[in-house]
């Protein structure tokens, strides 16, 4: 019996995520959106690709949540997207209301599910999901670090003309301008990145990774990134469904790790069938630890605004 994944939001991120999961055939998918006909049409289109791809998975679209019942994983992508000139934080209160409504429904129909939060501002939305769901903190995780790390690794591989597989790196912290690439542990085939790229150029690459989402928004004008985000989501879904115990940079609830308490922040996580099963504490230098805590402070500011709303 195939496992079940619900994707809430049939926009570009959600629909592409649903398509990627369906293509692989290991899970049935329910695609949910409030726009009548949108998830049904996209789901049917994806379903009809099954004979070509060799996928016997099922996918349905729905405007209500009954069809999501007993999902193993729920991916929340719904919310308004950024437009040029907007920061992720500009979306806060609107998306807080959307995520609240979604989590109330999905946690009711799938009380044992693991939720992956994608809606921006992502770290704050994960905090809101925990509050609304009543789930244990490890059952709520956010997709951010994988995407930020992928952008960082992409630019490093391009700079050095090497395979992306040869670049090992982590990006921690909040999903936004305060994200923290861990320079000291970044390496190419074991060689520290600081020995391969001079500091000024490396900082330019780091900044491009921080601005990776905005760069795409500025190109698209009427939308935001979805190919790399959906691939990042699927990596998390697979780690959970297959109980891989894979260590991935995710937004997770910290309870004293890295000196941060009661807050969702991007850190390395052992991801398996129980969700964020362990927080991995990297040895950070003073500058990196300070940057991570500053990033956490930015997340805390958003959480405080939500609490007052």
Other CB atoms within 10 Å distance of the CB of residue 190: 7
Beta bridge partners of 102: none
Cis peptide before 121 (omega within 30 of 0): yes
Using CA atoms, how far residue 213 sits from 80, 121, 220, in Å, is 15, 12, 11
Residue 166 CA neighbour count, 13 Å, CB half: 14
Using CA atoms, how far residue 85 sits from 204, 237, 296, in Å, is 21, 31, 23
**Is 135 a known active-site residue?**
no
Catalytic residue among 42, 175, 210, 300: 175
The DSSP secondary-structure symbol of 185 reads T
Beta bridge partners of 269: 248, 279
196 vs 9: CA distance, rounded Å: 42
Contacts 24+ apart (CB under 8 A), 207-213: 208/151, 208/155, 209/148, 209/151, 209/152, 209/155, 209/171, 209/179, 209/181, 210/148, 210/176, 210/177, 210/179, 212/147, 212/148, 212/151, 213/82, 213/88
The catalytic site residues sit at 175
């Amino acid at each position: 019996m195939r496992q079940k994944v619900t994707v809430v939001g049939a926009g570009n991120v959600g629909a592409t995520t649903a398509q990627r999961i369906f293509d692989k055939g290991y899970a049935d998918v329910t695609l949910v959106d409030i726009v009548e006909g949108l998830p049904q049409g996209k789901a049917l289109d994806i379903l009809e690709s099954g004979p070509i791809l060799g996928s016997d998975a099922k996918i349905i679209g729905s405007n209500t949540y009954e069809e999501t019942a007993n999902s193993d994983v729920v991916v929340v992508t719904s919310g308004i997207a950024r437009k040029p000139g907007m920061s992720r934080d500009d979306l806060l209160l609107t998306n807080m209301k959307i995520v609240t409504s979604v989590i109330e429904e999905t946690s009711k129909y799938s009380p044992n599910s693991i939720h992956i939060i994608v809606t921006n501002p992502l770290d704050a939305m994960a905090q809101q999901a925990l509050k609304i769901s009543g789930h244990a903190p490890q059952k709520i995780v956010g997709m951010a670090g994988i995407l930020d790390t992928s952008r960082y690794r992409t630019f490093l591989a391009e700079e050095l003309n090497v395979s992306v597989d040869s670049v090992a790196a982590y990006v921690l912290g909040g999903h936004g301008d305060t994200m923290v690439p861990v320079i000291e542990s970044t390496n190419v085939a074991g060689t520290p990145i600081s020995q391969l790229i001079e500091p000024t150029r490396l900082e330019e690459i780091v900044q491009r990774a921080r601005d990776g989402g905005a760069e795409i928004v500025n190109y698209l004008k009427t939308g935001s990134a979805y190919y790399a985000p959906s691939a990042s989501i699927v990596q998390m879904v697979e780690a959970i469904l297959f109980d891989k115990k894979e260590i991935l940079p995710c937004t997770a609830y910290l309870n004293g790790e890295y000196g941060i308490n009661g807050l969702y922040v991007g850190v390395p996580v052992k991801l398996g069938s129980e969700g964020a099963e362990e927080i991995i504490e990297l040895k950070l230098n003073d500058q990196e630890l300070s940057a991570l805590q500053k990033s956490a402070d930015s997340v805390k500011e958003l959480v405080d605004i939500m609490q007052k709303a």
